[in-house]
Amino acid sequence: MHHPLAEALSALPHGPEFRFLDELTMLEPGQAGTGRYRLRPDAPFLRGHFPGQPLMPGVLLIEAAAQLAGTVAQSDPRQPPLPGLKLAAVRNAKFLDAVRPGDELVIQAQILGRIGRLIQAVASASVAERLVLRVELTLSGD
């Protein structure tokens, strides 16, 4: 039998090359969740961002947060999963510190509300309890 956290994570449509969530560590279905992602030193995008001083791109931090928010939203037992759920809007994104190879991100997302096929969420990410990202997200289904 599958573990419910692993099962919720397996619903992500992204292929392994574009998955920025290694594991789900807490899930309140449809409400909130916490996940982890370790930035591997051999991640291909690090070679160009930036040579000699590799950093995780801010857009990928936002993507990790959106993947978690989508996982939380799609796990809501009161709502059928939305087909084709995608990131539709990003607001008030703040990058507070760099994420370097070997760092482990702890990502948190909370669903604020749903209106039809739109889902509002707020998310943050930390490395060693140091906040590195705060962002508001809108996800949209087909």
CB within 8 Å of 106: residues ≥ 6 apart: 25, 34, 35, 36, 125, 126, 127
Q: What is the CA radius of gyration of the chain?
A: 15
- Is 49 marked active-site? yes
Other C-beta atoms lying within 10 Å of the C-beta of residue 42: 7
Catalytic positions are 49
